[in-house]
Amino acid sequence: MYRGFVFAQDSIADFIRSLEGVSKVALYSYSRDLSRVSGLTSDRSQALRGVRSTVAGDDAALYNSLLLTVKDAARLTGKKAIVVFSNGPDNASLVPPEDVAELAQSTGTIIYMISTQQAEDEPISTAVFERMSKVTGGKAYFSKSWRDEKQAFASIRDDLAHLYTLSYYPQPNPNRGWRTITVKLVGKNLQKYHLRTRDGYRFLQQTASTDNLPLPGPDPVSQ
């Protein structure tokens, strides 16, 4: 059990309050199973109530739950990001993290990871969290205290306020898999700026569109 979870709840709540007004937010929690606590909404109060209702669990099927979350996000158009707070390494998933990263890449979903020192102490978890976030254009943070958590959420909030979408028409390419791209700033006066971008994208065959399908609502709970 993560004894500092109440401080994490405060950081998550502050993060939700600080998001731009046009942003919509959904809140999911997970232990061995995923729970859709609050559906996608611009009403911050719904998500904030959900934050206070969550508890820290003993099991963490992180990759299972994250895959389901990415599938939900795939229904949406526009800029989308998943911010994950984990109080430790995954210890219950059947899904490999590579599957999560591949789907996130294919759907243009950015993944940010905030985890506690417990995960950072495990080299495998550290590498997985960093790789999964990097390949989707996000970043992994490892917090040693509640102050670190607040700083991590503040950094992510700033990132989300400065997201841009670049589009281009590629030349005919027989490669139907991963296509690497590099984005650079040209000009000496721009060298002071730092870009964090995806490393590429996966070719997607045009199929029937599922754009703008609604996300699943909150999971039912017993009264």
The β-bridge partners of 178 are: 202
Each residue's pLDDT expressed in tens, for the chain with a length of 223 residues: 456 788 899 999 999 999 988 899 999 999 999 999 999 999 999 999 999 998 877 789 999 999 999 999 999 988 899 999 998 889 999 999 999 999 999 898 999 999 987 766 788 889 999 999 999 999 999 998 889 999 999 999 999 988 877 777 778 877 777 778 888 888 888 888 877 777 777 776 654 444 455 566 666 543 3
Domain boundaries, the chain: 5-160
Write out the H or E segment, with its range, that includes residue 197: none
Give the CA count within 13 Å in the CB-facing half-sphere of 1: 4
Q: Which two tokens stand for residue 215?
A: 């996300």
Whole-angstrom distance, CA of residue 5 vs CA of residue 12: 10
- What is the CATH code of the structural domain delimited by 5-160? 3.40.50.410
